[in-house]
Structure 1
């Protein structure tokens, strides 16, 4: 590992206090030194005991390692016959991002969505499940191969970009439909989501400019999704498909662990009619997760406390923030949002710095998947803690970017102008930008 240097930033505002930011001088990364790995798993500060009690109940459900058990009729309960993980925590490493190690070790928190022309794959469903209970074969084994190219900054410094190629080995139930395409998704970090849920939908709509009426090249739009109350703004997931943390929690439990929950009641999770063996093992007489279970899991995620940004920035971090603004990154990664007056008291009427607008933006052909090239702007708060928490840095929806430089360089579409300005930066400006991102 490259030698690290102290940049002298006091982090008294961070939850544990008295720490220091460590950044690599000309490298792409910064990280926090001295913080425990579970720094993103702490509850919000200052909440009362009743909230902490619910938080702890939800924590238990979120981290519970589920084991399948056989019922008298031969069906399986406690875990889907087909699944990707046995707990939520298994993919969201210490409530942070998933990991894609370079050394050939098992990828954690990466799932393969299966996208057909008319919906899910007719045999394998919406998502590849690479694990199964005893007596049943997993659907297959996800494979990621990399094709590396090199681009350069204006001063000649190189950036190595890895384009992933996704495939599935050992398909157990026959071939995929010829029209099915793979779209990989890496588990995102979870902190700050309760505050994002508390931002008023009208405030998000005011940021949208789907027809680029102001001519600035940025045309973000709300993703409106069906909910009980009608069409509402989707704000969670890489494509903003979930309108609430409860909806996202229930969907993830269903697809990733094969659990039934309100709104996701199909027995056996994602196993399809063509998968007779999976269907035979699935029970159907009661839900695996109750509405209260889903509420408590979402409550836990909503109340995860995000370490504050430093109150006093050193010169390099402040210079990096100025570079961030000059590049135009804040047009999508909005530095400031305000939560609604009508939100729960612990979230209401707060000015927050998530660095997102929660809108869908066209990111260009290089990041396009089978569903298109639009992606929700991911929040940047907490991004500097990625290596500390997850053990490795992987960014973008499929984990292809290993550092800040690669992540920015992959930006296209609406972000192409900002990306080109980034490639024109000199080494000093780049180092400042990385230090700023590392301090978020």
Structure 2
């Protein structure tokens, strides 16, 4: 006789199995859905490793900052190389047989652009007390504003101290840095030490400085990705500004508006430690004059005051000394230096460090990504998804980092958010790990611990997080 199956006889067992299955999903039958994990912290985002979009180069050697945009044509790379040659080679005293490169000084800080931007990297303060400033300079001013709303220079020494000169002209003076160690403690009991700098000027050659002189030290920033930053749409930058902290989040990013020499008007500032330069062309021409003593069509007058008659009477290398063609080539070079790709972007500790960076509020100022404008003249830089980690805005960084020196709309405690791309290769390229505007920080942890003002909460989040998370956050920064 055929054997049949009756579901009725098994129904009690099935009910019991269902009950057991449901009870195993949580205590007392709790079926709460686990929290969703942000996918940005479990895997790299699309294109995240390409910090400079299509310009990105895959290079980790000491020359990682010195390469042209990867998507540049061979024809345009010739202009890049010409600009590089003028960036790298020393200028000489006029008159000279090398007419294209004469006119050094009479007062200056360096003989070439690369003297400060070694391998296109970051400058540093002097290593030892008494050492000369090489890739660091002192901005000078006195209270008040010039005719265009910028810093008012010292009546004798102007807006920048020049510690070198040609024969027959005395250097203006010598900048000095002294440090005091100050100690602190993480919440887990680990101690740290920060070095607090004091700045002074010795041996002024042309008379005493004003008693109310303001000094602001600046190290040379890295040169990578400048053109990409220049072509972030202004509306995008301004949309993120919140000068009155209208949203109440404690972050009040402010745009600086500065004088554009060629346009003859006030425009958005983007470059310099206080966003006091509108574009790379003016930044470049200003550095040629202030740092090397080379005049240009933008700045045609030698950097000499009436009290410096030997400087005024010194021979020059032409009027102006920097030809329009040479300036164009150096600007092109500066605009198209590539950004290196990130490393270890998918490593577990780097992804956790990225989470710490975001959750600590660091991205409130260090905005991760943008898309550049559509550009006909610079196809390499056009419509690129980039990851610079900056908002190009001014933020109050607290008394600890204040220089007390206003610069257009930037007050004495405000600084531009510096881009972080490439920062993990700083030691490889520049031979040191000094960070911040004056290089006082010896590595990432010290740089974070100097943050104050609007960044106080982010600094405290870092100081109080477990050591493993601090290490991971630094691993994330090293990957940039």
Superposition deviation, residue 106 in structure 1:
4.7
- Check whether the contact 2:141–2:213 (CA below 8 A) recurs between aligned residues: yes
SS at match of 1:41: coil
1:259-298 deviation line (CA, Å, top 9, x unaligned) = 111221112xx22111111111154961011222222111
Superposition deviation, residue 16 in structure 1:
4.7
Distance 1:276 1:67, change over 3 A: same
2:104 counterpart (56, 79, 98)? 79
1:51 counterpart (58, 76, 98)? 76
The answer to whether structure 1 residue 401 and structure 2 residue 441 are counterparts is yes
Map 1:350-389 → 2, pairs under 5 A: 350-369=384-403, 370-371=405-406, 372-389=412-429
More moved, 95-104 vs 426-435: 95-104
The answer to whether structure 1 residue 222 and structure 2 residue 255 are counterparts is yes
2:327 counterpart (294, 311, 326)? 294
Runs of 4+, deviation exceeding 6 Å: 11-14
- Check whether the contact 1:58–1:296 (CA below 8 A) recurs between aligned residues: yes
Distance 1:345 1:229 in 2: 28
Instruction: Give the corresponding residue for 1:115.
Output: 141
Distance 1:125 1:229 in 2: 21
1:402-427 deviation line (CA, Å, top 9, x unaligned) = 11111111111111111111111111
Distance 1:216 1:86, change over 3 A: same
Distance 2:317 2:75 in 1: 34
TM-score (norm 1): 0.89
The answer to whether structure 1 residue 41 and structure 2 residue 75 are counterparts is no
Instruction: Give the corresponding residue for 2:27.
Output: none
Superposition deviation, residue 36 in structure 1:
2.3
Instruction: Give the corresponding residue for 2:232.
Output: 199
SS at match of 2:380: coil
Distance 1:309 1:178, change over 3 A: same
- Check whether the contact 2:109–2:134 (CA below 8 A) recurs between aligned residues: no
Distance 1:39 1:231 in 2: 35
- Check whether the contact 1:240–1:360 (CA below 8 A) recurs between aligned residues: yes
SS at match of 2:366: coil
Superposition deviation, residue 50 in structure 1:
2.1
Tell me the matched-pair count: 409
Superposition deviation, residue 102 in structure 1:
3.6
Greater Rg, structure 1 or structure 2?
2
1:86-116 deviation line (CA, Å, top 9, x unaligned) = 0000001110100235455554310011111
1:259 counterpart (264, 270, 294)? 294
Superposition deviation, residue 342 in structure 1:
3.6
Distance 1:400 1:221, change over 3 A: same
Distance 1:330 1:366, change over 3 A: same
1:177-234 deviation line (CA, Å, top 9, x unaligned) = 1111211000000101111111000111111111111111111111112321733211
More helix by share: 2
Distance 2:338 2:379 in 1: 15
